[in-house]
Amino acid sequence: MIHITLPDGSTKTFDDTPTGVDVAQSISEGFARSCVAMEINGQMRDLYQKIPEDAAVRLITTKDPEALEILRHSAAHVMAQAVLRIYKDAHLTIGPVVEDGFYYDIDMGPLSEDDFPKIEAEMRKIVKAKLPIRRKTVSKSDALAFYQDEPYKLEMIEDLPDGTISFYEQGEFTDLCRGPHLPHTGFVKAFKLMKTSGAYWRADQNNAQLQRIYGTAFFDKKELKQHLAFLEEARKRNHRKLGERLDLFSFHDEAPGMPFFHAKGMIIWNTLLAYWREAHRRAGYVETKTPIMLNRSLWERSGHWENYRENMYTSSIDEMDYAIKPMNCPGGMLLYASKPHSYRELPLRQAEIGLVHRHEMSGVLSGLFRVRAFHQDDAHIFMTPDQIEGEILGVLRLVEEIYSTFGLGFHLELSTRPEKSIGTDEQWAQATDGLRKALDAYGREYKINEGDGAFYGPKIDVHIKDALGRTWQCGTVQLDMSLPERFDLNYVGQDNEKHRPIMIHRVIYGSIERFFGILTEHFGGKFPLWLAPVQARLLPINDELAPYANEVKAFLEAGGLRVETDDRTESLNRKIREAQLEYVPLILTIGAKEKAAGTLSVRTLDGAVQYGVPQDDFLARTLAHIRDRRPDLEILKD
RNA sequence: GCCGACGUAGCUCAGCUGGUAGAGCAGCUGAUUCGUAAUCAGCAGGCCAGCGGUUCGAGUCCGCUCGUCGGCUCCA
């Protein structure tokens, strides 16, 4: 007799060892059909596995979040099966589930997206056949024998611990896999192959290049459709497109990966920096600036010449080697070391909007997200060991203040000591402890990435979440135990002895270029009033009213608004349409009525119009919205 | 750097199996003076990314280079 306890506390009793299917069917046939897997005492299992003893069982239905991963894993198998049917000499490697779907890396000839329809058609056949997916376990030696012609699988099995190894079978297809999987292939109804790319076996460039095929899958077609609609929305918000349409920035073949910012883009840029400077001044930072090009000896001292040289632009002048800085820190170290420091000066918060160049590989460039020349909103904070916690906390509070201004949520991740690292155990313990204490004091939950820190110190990464729910790592706080040593930094303590300061690097926007791109997509090009390059556009209804419109413009400009007059001889409808498409937040039409009454009719981007708004009132409200740097576009609503 | 896709007017794109480049929008000129998302007409605009090859003939086919995009990789 086997007693099964269900999540609601009820128990079912079985004479024989039941499978998950039996348990599900004991509840109802309909329910059983929606089950895809089960959790036995917290362990994910296939529905068809036997339950040998009394256990707590939770049946996983298509509605459970865990089910999606299982589905996608099985979808990867269905795809692999289809590929093997079409490409007889293909060799499978690995096929995991990823955030939005799955992929499978396959050793085969080059593939293009034009090949997808026939693979998808084959997949549909497999789905339609509702092939049962069954687990079997074999010994390691049998597994090796089974895969004698599959070098990648052999390598994977070699790495597995001795003992039984599980395989999954569906029809003629068998794959090495931990599982769990769906009961049958019929669940994989809503899937789509998304893209292909090259990928290296074990992510190593020296290994064979494989074909990676990405796909996604959902339990029902509606969800798949929603997902595709989301991708479409993201595509529409693409900052490269918006940047061109809104005349913000451009790229040119003459300087790949190095953006040109246009007049309107620079207004946003300068506004972002003005805000940044204001917030940093309040937080007790000083601003500094160091050169872009520095002598080789500096980079040898910092270690970059040895470790980062392939990414640096170098030049030879007067028989001396120079490098354009890929990071600001070495310059910042020189600045600190340029005079003696007392403990009384610490913490010293030394900020710098630094222009850095990194020679990224040509294939990775991507709009403003991945460039070769960019500005970091860098800061180096020098402090005593007992200031670590307070300073980190200060950075986290500043991070929160700045991101929330843009309506961006965020979460934190702490990365600890990696295998390859410098410094003593004590130093790492002290440094990591400092970060952890600051995080705990800050009070938000954070994720820990063990062993993911830089070799020179632990770090906290800040991941922001944009309006589409996508996350981006922007801010980072890194404790550096290497550079103060290499540059022999010190301060004189209360004891009149020299001490080594603790130093952190931190950025909040990260790369200003990248942050600009993220904001463009976050707002979908509809920048909030305080950032909008043109805050208001005046549209005189006819040519006679143009002089008056320019008077109003002068009035609003004197108040501090960025205003344009569209006094072209064009129809009002056209002017409105164009202003809307340029995402000018406030579209002000001026007709005889407005002139007579000293009012404005105000159209906002949602298309709503408020007539008869007194000019003073309009100016006061927009200025208040700007002053508060509100991220919304509800400008004249309270 | 690697795999795949792509590169035609400022922008979006058409150009069939090779026969000497086309549209819409933007621009310019003129007319229209307009009340909340495109007024009308005319004109101009291209070394078809670059270089080389095949061919009587190349935007179309082939090779190389550059750039862009999606991935891989890297990220002191």
Render pLDDT for A449-489 as a digit per residue (tens, 0 to 9): 888 888 889 999 999 988 888 889 999 999 998 899 999 99
User: Is pLDDT above 80 for A541?
Assistant: yes
User: Is pLDDT above 80 for A605?
Assistant: yes
Q: How far does the CA of A286 sit from the C1' of B52, in Å?
A: 57
Q: Which residues contact A563 (CB under 8 A, 6 or more apart)?
A: A534, A535, A536, A537, A538, A553, A556, A557
Percent of residues in chain A assigned helix, strand, coil, to nearest 5? 40, 30, 30
Q: How far does the CA of A457 sit from the C1' of B76, in Å?
A: 11
Q: Name the band, by pLDDT with cuts 50, 70 and 90, for residue A356.
A: very high
Tokens coding A425: 């155990």
3-class SS of residue A390: helix
Q: Does the interface predicted TM-score (ipTM) exceed 0.85? A: yes
Domain A2-61 has CATH 3.40.50.970: no
User: Chain B positions under 7 Å from a protein CB?
Assistant: 1-5, 11-12, 31-39, 66-74, 76
What percent of chain A has a predicted confidence (pLDDT) above 90?
56
- For chain A, the distance separating the N- and C-terminal CA atoms, rounded to the nearest angstrom, is 68
Render pLDDT for A542-584 as a digit per residue (tens, 0 to 9): 999 999 999 999 999 999 999 999 999 999 999 999 999 999 9
A505 is catalytic: yes
What percent of chain A has a predicted confidence (pLDDT) above 70?
100
User: Is pLDDT above 90 for A438?
Assistant: yes
Catalytic residue among A58, A91, A181, A329: A329
List phi, psi (to 5°) of A323: -135, 140
Question: What's the CA gap between A537 and A517, in Å, rounded?
Answer: 24
Question: What's the CA gap between A625 and A604, in Å, rounded?
Answer: 14
Q: Name the band, by pLDDT with cuts 50, 70 and 90, for residue A629.
A: very high
User: Is pLDDT above 80 for A139?
Assistant: yes
Q: What is the pLDDT of residue A287?
A: 97
Asked if residue A498 lies in contact with residue A486, where contact means CB atoms within 8 angstroms, the answer is no
User: Is pLDDT above 70 for A638?
Assistant: no
More confidently predicted of A347 and A158: A347
Domain A245-291+326-522 classification at class level: alpha beta
Q: How far does the CA of A581 sit from the C1' of B25, in Å?
A: 13
A603 is catalytic: no
The domains of chain A are located at 2-61, 66-231, 245-291+326-522, 536-627
Q: How far does the CA of A519 sit from the C1' of B11, in Å?
A: 23
**What is the CATH superfamily name and number for domain A66-231?**
Threonyl-trna Synthetase; Chain A, domain 2 (3.30.980.10)
Tokens coding A492: 């004189």
Catalytic residue among A22, A175, A378, A466: A378
Alpha-helical regions (H) of A48-115: 65-86
- To which H or E segment does residue A511 belong? strand A502-511
Asked if residue A387 lies in contact with residue A359, where contact means CB atoms within 8 angstroms, the answer is no
Catalytic residue among A49, A81, A376, A478: A376
Q: Which residues contact A382 (CB under 8 A, 6 or more apart)?
A: A336, A341, A346, A347, A348, A350, A484, A489, A491, A501, A502, A503
A378 is catalytic: yes
A91 is catalytic: no
Q: What is the pLDDT of residue A363?
A: 81
Render pLDDT for A219-247 as a digit per residue (tens, 0 to 9): 988 888 888 888 888 888 899 999 999 99
Render pLDDT for A104-126 as a digit per residue (tens, 0 to 9): 998 887 777 778 888 889 999 99
Catalytic residue among A436, A505, A537, A603: A505
Q: How far does the CA of A539 sit from the C1' of B40, in Å?
A: 21
Domain A536-627 has CATH 3.40.50.720: no
Tokens coding A352: 């710098």
- Which nucleotide, over all strands, has the C1' atom closest to the CA of A244? B11
As a whole number of angstroms, the longest Cα–Cα distance in chain A is 95
Q: Which residues contact A82 (CB under 8 A, 6 or more apart)?
A: A119, A120, A122, A123, A125, A126
Render pLDDT for A46-105 as a digit per residue (tens, 0 to 9): 888 888 888 888 888 888 888 898 999 999 999 999 999 988 888 889 888 887 889 999
Q: How far does the CA of A361 sit from the C1' of B50, in Å?
A: 22
A358 is catalytic: yes
Q: Name the band, by pLDDT with cuts 50, 70 and 90, for residue A591.
A: very high
Catalytic residue among A380, A417, A506, A514: A380
More confidently predicted of A438 and A151: A438
Give, in order, the Cα–Cα distances in Å from A420 to each of A7, A389, A453: 45, 25, 10
Asked if residue A543 lies in contact with residue A570, where contact means CB atoms within 8 angstroms, the answer is no
- Which nucleotide, over all strands, has the C1' atom closest to the CA of A210? B3
- Which nucleotide, over all strands, has the C1' atom closest to the CA of A98? B71
User: Is pLDDT above 70 for A386?
Assistant: yes
User: Is pLDDT above 70 for A495?
Assistant: yes
Q: Name the band, by pLDDT with cuts 50, 70 and 90, for residue A19.
A: confident
Protein residue with the closest CA to the C1' atom of nucleotide B3? A198
Q: Which residue has the tokens 């550096």?
A: A480
Q: How far does the CA of A260 sit from the C1' of B66, in Å?
A: 19
Q: What is the pLDDT of residue A33?
A: 86
Tokens coding A288: 């500094």
Question: What's the CA gap between A98 and A512, in Å, rounded?
Answer: 29
Q: Which residues contact A76 (CB under 8 A, 6 or more apart)?
A: A95, A96, A97, A102, A103, A104, A215
Q: What is the pLDDT of residue A550?
A: 95
A380 is catalytic: yes
Catalytic residue among A227, A358, A375, A537: A358
Any idea which of A267-271, A299-303, A610-614 has the lowest mean pLDDT? A299-303
Question: What's the CA gap between A30 and A613, in Å, rounded?
Answer: 61
List phi, psi (to 5°) of A322: -125, 160
Question: What's the CA gap between A580 and A607, in Å, rounded?
Answer: 8
- Which nucleotide, over all strands, has the C1' atom closest to the CA of A590? B35
The residue among A296, A264, A347 whose CA lies nearest residue A584 is A264
A553 is catalytic: no
Over residues A22-46, the mean pLDDT reads 85
Q: Which residues contact A279 (CB under 8 A, 6 or more apart)?
A: A398, A401, A402
Any idea which of A13-27, A275-289, A382-396, A552-566 has the lowest mean pLDDT? A13-27
Render pLDDT for A245-268 as a digit per residue (tens, 0 to 9): 999 999 988 888 999 999 999 999
